[in-house]
Amino acid sequence: MTRHDHQLHEGESLKEAARERLTRQGEQWTDMREAVFKALAAFEKPASAYDIAEEVSKAQGRRVAANSVYRILDLFVGANLARRVESANAYVANQHPGCLHDCIFLICDNCGQAVHIDDDSLTSGVRAAAKDAGFSAPRPVIEVRGTCGDCAD
């Protein structure tokens, strides 16, 4: 499979797609998980667990520990509801949680914006090279750092 279009979700549609994906995998969609997902999805740039904990704390009027958020984010990444931007130790909501692909992020060094693209022809080469080296790569993540079009202007 090569580059293709997805049904991208946003707002309430994104939350419902995430809830459906998580519950289909046998997990519960709790109030805290919903609050974390809602906060994550509201960020325009990759967000750290601390950023998300701060937003959930504000919304709930009580302190939410980053450790609790990390556990939920790990669950979300495993369930394909979120993607981890490794080099920034930050997360983005996956706008098409029903579709599994390897991650390719284009990350702007100036503004921090991260664009997620799917191109299986690129990641299949990475998988093949890993296999040839005797290495198993179940979920490769490729990050390209540079300057986005807005910052380049």
The CATH number of residue 47's host domain is 1.10.10.10
Residue type present at position 93? A
HSE-CB of 86 using CA atoms within 13 angstroms: 10
Q: Are 76 and 24 in the same domain? A: yes
Q: Are 62 and 130 in the same domain? A: no
Q: Are 80 and 41 in the same domain? A: yes
147: confidence class by pLDDT, cuts 50, 70, 90 = very high
pLDDT given at position 10: 66
Q: Are 66 and 130 in the same domain? A: no
Whole-angstrom Cα distance, residue 77 to residue 85?
A: 11
Distances (CA, A) of 24 to 79, 84, 97: 10, 22, 12
2: confidence class by pLDDT, cuts 50, 70, 90 = very low
Is 29's pLDDT higher than 50?
yes
Q: Are 113 and 63 in the same domain? A: no
Q: Are 87 and 115 in the same domain? A: no
Q: Are 78 and 107 in the same domain? A: no
Decide the pairing of beta strands 103-108 and 114-117.
antiparallel
Is 35's pLDDT higher than 80?
yes
| Domain assignment of residue 1, yes or no | no
| Domain assignment of residue 86, yes or no | yes
| Domain assignment of residue 108, yes or no | yes
Q: Please list, residue by residue across 21-37, b when 16 or more beta carbons sit within 10 angstroms of its beta carbon and e when fewer do.
A: bbeeeebebeeebebbb
CATH number of residue 119's parent domain: 3.30.1490.190
| Domain assignment of residue 153, yes or no | no
Whole-angstrom Cα distance, residue 71 to residue 24?
A: 19
Most confident of 25-29, 97-101, 129-133: 25-29
**Per-residue model confidence as pLDDT tens digits over 40-93:** 999 999 999 999 999 999 999 999 999 999 999 999 999 989 999 988 899 999
The boundaries of the domain holding residue 118 are 103-148
- Please count the structural domains in the chain: 2
Q: Are 47 and 116 in the same domain? A: no
pLDDT given at position 4: 46
Q: Are 74 and 28 in the same domain? A: yes
Which residues share a beta bridge with 90?
85
What's the pTM value of the predicted model, to 2 decimals?
0.82
Whole-angstrom Cα distance, residue 56 to residue 29?
A: 16
| Domain assignment of residue 3, yes or no | no
